[in-house]
Amino acid sequence: MKIFKITLLSLALMFLGLSALHSKEMDKMEMHKDGSQTMHSDEMMKDQTMAKKPMYSVPSDAELRQQLTPLQYEVTQNEGTERAFDNTYWNNHEAGIYVDVVSGEPLFSSIDKYESGTGWPSFTKPLVPENIVNKEDRSLFSVRTEVRSKHADSHLGHVFGDGPEPTGLRYCMNSASLRFIPLADLEKEGYGEYMSLFK
């Protein structure tokens, strides 16, 4: 009899828990007169955001040494600097975006690229500000602002306050830290969400 009461109590508690869970899920749904249901837009947006949120993987140091060129490794991992006017993207005028060579996180757009005369690819602003981290750099006997990628923590370059309008900033980047994805390849490379920027 005692076992029966405990079992009955357990079933009752389980039923109440399931009912509460069902009620919570139903709160997210909108009931229509015809009996159909629609999830609220904020929940849909949340689900879509979670589904679209890219995952940036960072290879191990051993993998990086295999995947990157010696220059790319030196710049991204050891805060190196490539030579001015002797790098891949300083004079690139093609439409597209620039992503972290290590992780693939989107960093800059050709829309914000401009001729700075420095010999390095320069931008007025990041494509995705959340993917950029600024750090104080006291090397070379001066105080500068280093720019790193958030997810891979790659050294990208430096940002200066001598850029053109509208930001007045010059993001002076190393080509070796970047991978350029042309507009025509954005969709197949998984960056289709940025195609609308070029319309």
What are the residue boundaries of the structural domains of the chain, listed by start?
83-187
What mean pLDDT is predicted for residues 111-135?
A: 98
pLDDT bracket for residue 50 (50, 70, 90): very low
Cis amide leading into 129 (omega within 30): no
CB 145 within 8 A of CB 159: yes
172 annotated active-site: yes
pLDDT bracket for residue 56 (50, 70, 90): confident
Strands 122-123 and 113-114: antiparallel
- b/e per residue 90-108 (b: at least 16 CB within 10 A): bebeeebbbbbbbbbbbbb
pLDDT bracket for residue 20 (50, 70, 90): very low
pLDDT bracket for residue 27 (50, 70, 90): very low
pLDDT of residue 54: 56
From 172, 176, 181, 186, the catalytic residue: 172
- b/e per residue 151-179 (b: at least 16 CB within 10 A): bbebbbbbbbeebeeeeebbbbbbbbbbb
From residue 120, give the alpha-carbon distance in Å to each of 2, 47, 77, 112: 80, 40, 19, 14
**Confidence (pTM):** 0.73
CATH 3.40.50.300 fits 83-187, yes or no: no
CB 10 within 8 A of CB 17: no
Cα(103)–Cα(140) distance, rounded to whole angstroms? 28
